[in-house]
């Protein structure tokens, strides 16, 4: 009876390890590209300017801002939560505090949230500690578990025109589809797609200037019949 559940847990652990390995490889590659980052951005912006006219540089800047905001709002807040939770576990004498803090980090990154881990530990604290220590531990862990609900929207929406729900959908969908790397890939794709769609709906257009017809470039000069 436990065999299917064990297989599912093993599959989940393998996926998490594979995602972490992909993230480490991406960090190493980004480290090699970091020194040539400005020149690569200029080349990409020039290429997109040829393809999308004046909107090319805007889309490159949007992708860069999305990466920065997702890094701060998702990974940064996850690190902060795990560090604060680990400090609370150590102060309260919780067994395997470092392992639990790492699990909280993973749960926060994949957008499940560390609350599913904190709640059982808080309940256990009321059975294993005296009332005063359990009350202090609970009063400390509840704000730690809710800090992402306050800071994440502020950090992820700063400097972006893309609505916050669109970015969250990109984060969750990218993580489900591509793992931890999709945490960054999903918001970029959906943010750029949102900008293109808004420009198309508003009629600003993303086609190069050379592809516009003379009829679109200047007003019609056909005279009305007398």
Domain boundary assignment for the chain = 48-201
Q: Comparing 112-116, 122-126, 174-178, which segment has the lowest mean pLDDT?
A: 174-178
If one compares 13 and 124, the residue with the highest pLDDT of the two is 124
Sign of the alpha-carbon dihedral angle for 153, 155, 156, 157: positive
Is pLDDT larger for residue 220 or for residue 84? 84
Whole-structure pTM value: 0.61
pLDDT digits (tens, 9 = 90+) for 101-117: 888 887 887 777 888 88
34 vs 27: CA distance, rounded Å: 10
b/e per residue 182-193 (b: at least 16 CB within 10 A): bbbbbbbbbbbe
**133-144 confidence digits (pLDDT tens):** 889 999 999 998
Residue located via tokens 């920065």: 68
Query: Of 135 and 210, which is predicted with more confidence?
Result: 135
pLDDT at 97 over 80: yes
| 89/137 Cα distance (integer angstroms) | 9
**Residue 120 and residue 192: Cα distance in Å, rounded?**
40
Q: Considering only 96-100, 108-112, 204-208, which range has the smallest mean pLDDT? A: 204-208
Residue whose C-alpha is closest to residue 168's, from 34, 78, 66, 46: 66
pLDDT of the residue at 63: 74
């Amino acid at each position: 009876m436990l065999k299917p559940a064990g297989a599912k847990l093993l599959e989940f652990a393998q996926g998490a390890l594979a995602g972490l390995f992909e993230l480490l490889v991406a960090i190493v590659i980004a480290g090699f590209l970091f020194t040539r980052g400005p020149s690569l951005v200029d080349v990409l912006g020039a290429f997109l300017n040829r393809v999308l006219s004046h909107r090319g540089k805007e889309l490159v800047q949007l992708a860069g801002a999305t990466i920065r905001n997702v890094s701060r709002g998702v990974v940064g807040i996850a690190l902060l939560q795990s560090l604060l939770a680990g400090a609370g576990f150590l102060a309260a004498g919780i067994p395997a505090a470092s392992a639990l803090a790492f699990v909280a980090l993973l749960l926060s990154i994949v957008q499940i949230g560390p609350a599913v881990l904190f709640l059982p530990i808080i309940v256990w604290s009321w059975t294993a500690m005296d009332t005063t220590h359990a009350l202090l531990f609970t009063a400390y862990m509840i704000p730690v578990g809710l800090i992402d609900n306050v800071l994440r929207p502020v950090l992820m929406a700063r400097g972006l025109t893309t609505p916050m729900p669109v970015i969250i959908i990109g984060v969750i969908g990218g993580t489900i589809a591509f793992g931890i790397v999709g945490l960054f890939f999903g918001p970029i794709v959906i943010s750029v797609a949102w900008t293109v769609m808004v420009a198309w709906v508003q009629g600003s257009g993303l086609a190069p200037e050379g592809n516009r017809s003379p009829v679109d470039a200047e007003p019609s000069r056909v005279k009305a019949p007398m």
